[in-house]
Amino acid sequence: ANYTIVDQDTCIACGACGATAPDVFDYNDDGVAFSLLDDNKGNKQIPDEWLEDVEDAFEGCPTESIRLAEAPFEGDPNKFG
Ligand code: F3S
């Protein structure tokens, strides 16, 4: 799991991910999360030092809106199903 993206269509702005992985996730004006790594494109590899936080955020998201994959998402949170 080296790439991450937020599905903004399903994020309910719960605020958990940015608290868990503040270097990787932030929120837009509506409170909807996005990846700071590359403006939520899911194309930039997660730096090793933040990977554990991202995995924790992945597990903690109540709507499973945080995606993780070993290949780039190319902007599509549903690229890998
Ligand atoms: Fe949204 Fe899940 Fe984060 S609901 S705010 S992506 S923890």
Ligand 1 atom closest to the Cα of residue 27 is 5
Report the residue among 14, 36, 53, 58 best suited for mutation to probe ligand 1: largest number of ligand atoms under 8 A from its CB: 14
Burial (0-12, 13-18, 19+ Cβ within 10 Å), 19: exposed
Q: Is the pLDDT of residue 34 over 90?
A: yes
Show Cβ contacts of residue 1 under 8 Å, excluding neighbours closer than 6 positions: 46, 51, 54, 55, 58, 68, 69, 70
User: Is the pTM above the cut of 0.90?
Assistant: yes
Model confidence band, residue 81 (pLDDT cutoffs 50, 70, 90): confident
Q: Is the pLDDT of residue 1 over 70?
A: no
Report the residue among 6, 9, 40, 53 best suited for mutation to probe ligand 1: largest number of ligand atoms under 8 A from its CB: 6
Tell which residue, 12, 1, 2, has the closest CA to residue 46.
2
Ligand 1 atom closest to the Cα of residue 18 is 3
Tell which residue, 30, 19, 28, 27, has the closest CA to residue 54.
19
